[in-house]
Amino acid sequence: DRVALGNDEWNPWEEDEKNELAAAQQRYEAVLKMIKNTRSHLEQSSLRVQIWGKAAIGLYLWQHIFGGHLEPPDVTAQWREGSQKAGKTYFSFITGPSVVPGYFSVEAENVVLVLNGREKAKITYATQWLHYAQTLIQTRKIRRVAVVLLGNEQCNNEWIRPYLRRNGGFVNLLFLTYDYAFVNEEDIFQWPLGVATYRNFPVVEPSWSMLHDPRSYLCNFLGTVYKNSSRETLMEILKQDGLDKLCWIAAREQWQPQETNESFKNYQDALLQSDLTLCPVGINTECYRIYEACSYGSLPVIEDVMTPGDCGNSSMYHSAPLQLLKTMGAPFIFIKNWKELPAVLEKEKNLSLQEKIQRRKKLIEWYQNFKAWMRQKFINTLENSFLPNDKG
């Protein structure tokens, strides 16, 4: 029924097929366009952030707050890295002595610089990193920078302020330890000191025995006793009525930056074997001991007084010190004077094991929630600041 025209066959449905083919092509192109738009939107709404860990608090951020891993696991390795997706953000983390300005691959437009600004020599080193980041912004290698800073214990952090965007600099966000008076929850945020990762304090997983076993000591204090400090008062009070016999006390006259394996093991055992950890003020009220005690379910007893310096000198800090921990409802014992300690220990003697178990569970759960909250706040703050706003 077909009419042969030369070598071509006549097809009465050819027009319909052409139309169908054209329509299919249009549908295909529409789908491609939709996929492309979706991918483009996903790329816009997701963030890549590279964290450069050039201070030990970077390990607290990555391993303790983010629960991230590092390869290789060896803490003495020259180069360590890890990555994870969180919220809309893909985070990569690098640390180690080999992470040197200009000698590693910059793999994201957004950078978090983790720096130490505690003393003059550290500030000089931190400034070199800030200048490197500034050069990368000027040459459009990166677009945005946030800084996590181990601040000065007396809150003398004025050197960092000219680098903030609000003051004509390039740093979008600053996360800073201690009760810094200029924390405003807009571009300057308080950040927890955390545990002493420079002494390789581990991420502690709570065990059944940690929660349920009786502990041998009412309290512990292992640390330096400075001349004419409240720590001397604490030692005198502990010696009264033999309270030091009920607690694990190991006082020294000079601060030791590095632990021996034996002294570190003793410290961990003291936290694990004590119901309370005494936290007298040092140069600052906030100390690693607070967070390390929480890790082992040993309740911190904190000397709740401001230390000399520029911390918390603003109306916002009416309940300073430890504003961040107090705001988060830390279930600690706060005392104004160590003369209150005998009454605290007397009450402790009368607690049942069941009451202590419930308290440990509450403390460890609070600490886990605190770290999760800090992680979420960090992610949200970066995304709110770094992602383009989708208006309408």
Phi then psi dihedrals of residue 169, to 5 deg: -95, -155
User: Is the same domain home to 220 and 328?
Assistant: yes
Phi then psi dihedrals of residue 214, to 5 deg: -60, 145
Computed from CA positions of residues 251, 214, 365, 89, in that sequence, does the dihedral angle turn out positive or negative?
Answer: positive
Q: How far apart are CA 349 and CA 354, in angstroms?
A: 13
User: Is the same domain home to 314 and 227?
Assistant: yes
Give the closest residue to 49 by CA, choosing from 62, 34, 30, 64. Answer: 62
Overall domain count for the chain: 2
Residue 1 lies in a domain: no
pLDDT of residue 227: 87
Token representation of residue 167: 């003051």
Asked whether residue 40 carries a pLDDT value surpassing 70, the answer given is no
Give the closest residue to 163 by CA, choosing from 132, 191, 139, 185. Answer: 132
Looking at residue 169, which CATH number applies to its domain? Answer: 3.40.50.300
User: Is the same domain home to 312 and 167?
Assistant: no
Looking at residue 287, which CATH number applies to its domain? Answer: 3.40.50.2000
User: Is the same domain home to 245 and 334?
Assistant: yes
This model's pTM is above 0.95: no
Residue 360 lies in a domain: yes
Q: How far apart are CA 256 and CA 240, in angstroms?
A: 27
The number of helices, as runs of H, and strands, as runs of E, in the chain is 10, 14
Which residues constitute the domain of residue 285? 198-369
CB 334 within 8 A of CB 181: no
Residue 257 lies in a domain: yes
Residue 29 lies in a domain: no
Residue 293 lies in a domain: yes
Q: How far apart are CA 200 and CA 73, in angstroms?
A: 12
Confidence band, pLDDT 50/70/90 cuts, at residue 228: confident
CA dist 176 → 11, 213, 360 (Å): 77, 37, 29
Residue 384 lies in a domain: no
CA dist 168 → 46, 300, 313 (Å): 27, 41, 24
Query: For the segment 109-130, what is each residue's pLDDT rounded down to a tens digit?
Result: 999 999 999 999 999 999 999 9
User: Is the same domain home to 52 and 169?
Assistant: yes
Q: How far apart are CA 103 and CA 349, in angstroms?
A: 58
User: Is the same domain home to 130 and 269?
Assistant: no
Helix H or strand E segment including 218: strand 217-224
Asked whether residue 207 carries a pLDDT value surpassing 70, the answer given is yes
User: Is the same domain home to 133 and 162?
Assistant: yes
Token representation of residue 340: 């209150």
Query: For the segment 1-33, what is each residue's pLDDT rounded down to a tens digit?
Result: 444 444 455 555 666 667 767 776 776 676 667
CA dist 208 → 33, 244, 281 (Å): 56, 28, 32
Strand partners, 80: 95
User: Is the same domain home to 202 and 322?
Assistant: yes
User: Is the same domain home to 283 and 322?
Assistant: yes
User: Is the same domain home to 333 and 218?
Assistant: yes
Query: For the segment 270-324, what is each residue's pLDDT rounded down to a tens digit?
Result: 999 999 999 999 999 999 999 999 999 999 999 999 898 889 865 555 568 999 9
pLDDT of residue 391: 43
Residue 4 lies in a domain: no
